[in-house]
C-alpha cells in the first residue's frame, strides 16, 4: 500500500451516510473531498512507517471509514452530510482524533502480521508478557513462514 489517493469511493461515501448520488458533478466533488481527506490519513500512516506494508485483512475497511468520515466532517463535503449539527461534528472530530492517535502510537497497526505496540519487539525477536501475546507471536510466525 502506498500513501497516495483516497481509500474510499464516492459510492462508499454515499453508502455510509445513506444518501443517493444525484449526478456526475456531485460524484466528482465527493471524489475530490475524499482525496483531500485521505492526505491526513497518509500523514499518520507515514509517521509510523505504514505506507509500504501489506494491509491487514480488516484495515482496508477501517481506512475507508476514516476517509469517508473525514471527508464529511473535517473537509465539510457539500454533498450528503453538510447538515451535521455542531455537536455531531465535534463528536466525529474527537473520534477521528482518537483514531489517529491510536495509529500514531501503534495501538492500531494496519499492517498485516504487525505485532503492535502492546508488547516489545526487536527486529526478528518478539517477547511476550502474556499467554495471548505468546499465541499471537506464534501465529504470526506461522503465517510468515508458512509452516
Domain boundaries, the chain: 10-114, 116-147
Q: Closest by alpha carbon to 86, among 78, 101, 76, 100?
A: 76
pLDDT in tens, 3-49: 999 999 999 999 999 888 778 888 999 999 999 999 999 999 999 99
Burial class (CB in 10 A: 0-12, 13-18, 19+), 92: middle
Find out whether 19 and 71 touch, Cβ atoms under 8 Å. Answer: no
Helices (H) and strands (E) in the chain, counts: 5, 2
The residue count for the chain: 147
Q: Helices 86-104 & 59-73, crossing angle to 10 degrees?
A: 140
Residue 56 CA to residue 114 CA, distance in Å, equals: 8
pTM greater than 0.85: no
Q: How confident is the model at residue 1 (pLDDT cuts 50, 70, 90)?
A: low
pLDDT at 129: 77
CA dihedral 87, 92, 98, 104 (to 10 degrees): -140
User: What pLDDT, on the 0 to 100 scale, is given for residue 21?
Assistant: 77
Amino acid at each position: 500500500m502506498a500513501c497516495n489517493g483516497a481509500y474510499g469511493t464516492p459510492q462508499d461515501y454515499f453508502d455510509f451516510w445513506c444518501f443517493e448520488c444525484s449526478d456526475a458533478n456531485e460524484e466528482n466533488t465527493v471524489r475530490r473531498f475524499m482525496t483531500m481527506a485521505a492526505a491526513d490519513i497518509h500523514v499518520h500512516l507515514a509517521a509510523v512507517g505504514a505506507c509500504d506494508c501489506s494491509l491487514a485483512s480488516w484495515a482496508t475497511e477501517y481506512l475507508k471509514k476514516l476517509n469517508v468520515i473525514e471527508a464529511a466532517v473535517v473537509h465539510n463535503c457539500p454533498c450528503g452530510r453538510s447538515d451535521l449539527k455542531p455537536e455531531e461534528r465535534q463528536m466525529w472530530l474527537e473520534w477521528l482524533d482518537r483514531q489517529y492517535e491510536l495509529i500514531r502510537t501503534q495501538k492500531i497497526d494496519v499492517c498485516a502480521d504487525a505485532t503492535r505496540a502492546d508488547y516489545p519487539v526487536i527486529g526478528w525477536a518478539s517477547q511476550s508478557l502474556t499467554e495471548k501475546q505468546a499465541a499471537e507471536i506464534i501465529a504470526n510466525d506461522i503465517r510468515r513462514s508458512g509452516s
